[in-house]
Amino acid sequence: MTEMKPVSEATAVKAPVLPDAQTVTEVKHWTDRLFSFKVSRPASLRFRSGEFVMIGLLGDNGKPLLRAYSIASPSWDEELEFYSIKVQDGPLTSKLQHIQPGDQIILRPKPVGTLVHDALLPGKRLWFFATGTGFAPFASLLREPQTYEDYDEVIITHTCRDVAELDYGRELIENIRQDELLAELIGEGFANKIRYYPTTTREESPKMGRITELLKDGSVFADLGIEGGIKPDTDRAMVCGSLAFNHDIKAILEEFGLREGANSEPKEFVIEKAFVG
Ligand SMILES: Cc1cc2nc3c(=O)[nH]c(=O)nc-3n(C[C@H](O)[C@H](O)[C@H](O)COP(=O)(O)OP(=O)(O)OC[C@H]3O[C@@H](n4cnc5c(N)ncnc54)[C@H](O)[C@@H]3O)c2cc1C
Ligand SMILES: NC(=O)c1ccc[n+]([C@@H]2O[C@H](COP(=O)([O-])OP(=O)(O)OC[C@H]3O[C@@H](n4cnc5c(N)ncnc54)[C@H](OP(=O)(O)O)[C@@H]3O)[C@@H](O)[C@H]2O)c1
């Protein structure tokens, strides 16, 4: 093991000491509030697409400063990808936003979470409902072969304030559609099952409005040509957003007759927080 030093605002740690240190291989800044990055994957790490882990940096006091992060890459990938907010005065992300390839982060290899296929009963149509960085677990599940083995149709909705906040998700889906290796791995034409439904709430875009409102007034179903709305016998859903969003979507799904499931008790939908507060 080598030495790992605390991170200051402008410099990220270069030398690993902790057994849980991983090396940053790629960083991409999407907006002044959003970035994504890739790190090396510990050989022993097994996870189910959709799960989250604790990652972080050494704080100024020399102790690990860790936060929950959804793994945005699929379970078969050699590297691990994350999609992150930059909170300017956030204890972790005020520093994490400065990482560069070659730097080290801490990654606790204990994946957990409810946004996994095992927590849902079999169905025909799978809905992913995301706001903001809540897209991250779905970036993993959209590249997971089981998603397409289990479902005939996969609808991903992503609601953000501004158009630029949709870029990570939009580009990821475009790349999935053109990825020949993925088509080989998952099956030719798999991407035709994906239906992408992005909306914005504060900046003009082709589809404006909170997804909750668009579900309630039926626009989503009209836009996608779905008759009869969400049905408990065929439709399954995974939800990832703020506490308020999760609360509101849960009420809507329950009104459609779906029940919340868990790893130990699979049902028709599952929910995870994209952040607390
Ligand atoms: C299960 C779970 C999975 C998570 N996965 C991710 C992920 O994949 N990507 C990610 O960026 N964050 C994720 N988070 C949030 C993450 O754990 C941290 O809160 C975030 O990295 C900010 O850390 P911080 O120390 O800078 O600020 P914190 O002190 O943790 O947060 C400060 C404030 O910033 C706001 N905030 C925090 N995170 C977000 C966010 N993601 N989007 C919008 N506002 C936010 C909240 O108002 C919060 O009170 C997840 C949280 C949970 C519980
Ligand atoms: N995004 C920014 O540009 C920005 C800039 C500075 C600070 N912040 C702060 O960062 C934090 C997180 O911001 P965020 O934009 O990442 O996440 P957010 O506030 O959860 O909003 C993300 C998207 O989800 C929508 N949404 C929020 N609550 C909802 C609900 N109950 N039902 C349906 N849709 C809902 C929002 O619509 P609405 O627009 O209608 O709320 C927005 O389009 C907030 O505390 C915010 O004050 C954000």
248 lines ligand 2 (CB under 6 A): yes
Ligand 1 centroid distance, CA of 66 (Å): 11
244 lines ligand 2 (CB under 6 A): yes
Name the segment(s) of the chain with CATH classification 3.40.50.80: 117-273
Ligand 1 atom with least separation from CA of 91: 25
- Reported as a single tens digit per residue, the pLDDT across 94-147 is 999 999 999 999 999 999 999 999 999 999 999 999 999 999 999 999 999 999
Instruction: Give the model's confidence band at 19: pLDDT under 50 very low, under 70 low, under 90 confident, else very high.
Output: confident
245 lines ligand 2 (CB under 6 A): yes
* pLDDT the model gives residue 17: 60
Note the ligand closest to the C-alpha atom of 200. 2
- Reported as a single tens digit per residue, the pLDDT across 171-208 is 999 999 999 999 999 999 999 999 999 999 999 999 99
How many CB atoms lie under 10 A from the CB of residue 173?
19
CATH architecture of 21-112: Beta Barrel (2.40)
Ligand 1 centroid distance, CA of 174 (Å): 26
- 73: its two tokens: 């890459």
Name the segment(s) of the chain with CATH classification 2.40.30.10: 21-112
Ligand 2 centroid distance, CA of 160 (Å): 7
5 pLDDT higher than 90: no
DSSP 205-251: -SSBS-HHHHHHTTHHHHHHT-TT---TTTEEEEEEE-HHHHHHHHH
Verdict on whether the full-model pTM lies above 0.85: yes
Ligand 2 centroid distance, CA of 242 (Å): 8
Instruction: Give the model's confidence band at 72: pLDDT under 50 very low, under 70 low, under 90 confident, else very high.
Output: very high
Ligand 1 centroid distance, CA of 244 (Å): 14
* pLDDT the model gives residue 3: 46
Answer CATH for 117-273 from 3.40.309.10, 1.10.3720.10, 3.40.50.80, 3.40.718.10: 3.40.50.80
C-alpha–C-alpha distance, residues 252 and 236, integer Å = 13
Note the ligand closest to the C-alpha atom of 70. 1
Going by CA atoms, what residue is nearest to atom 13 of ligand 2? Answer: 132
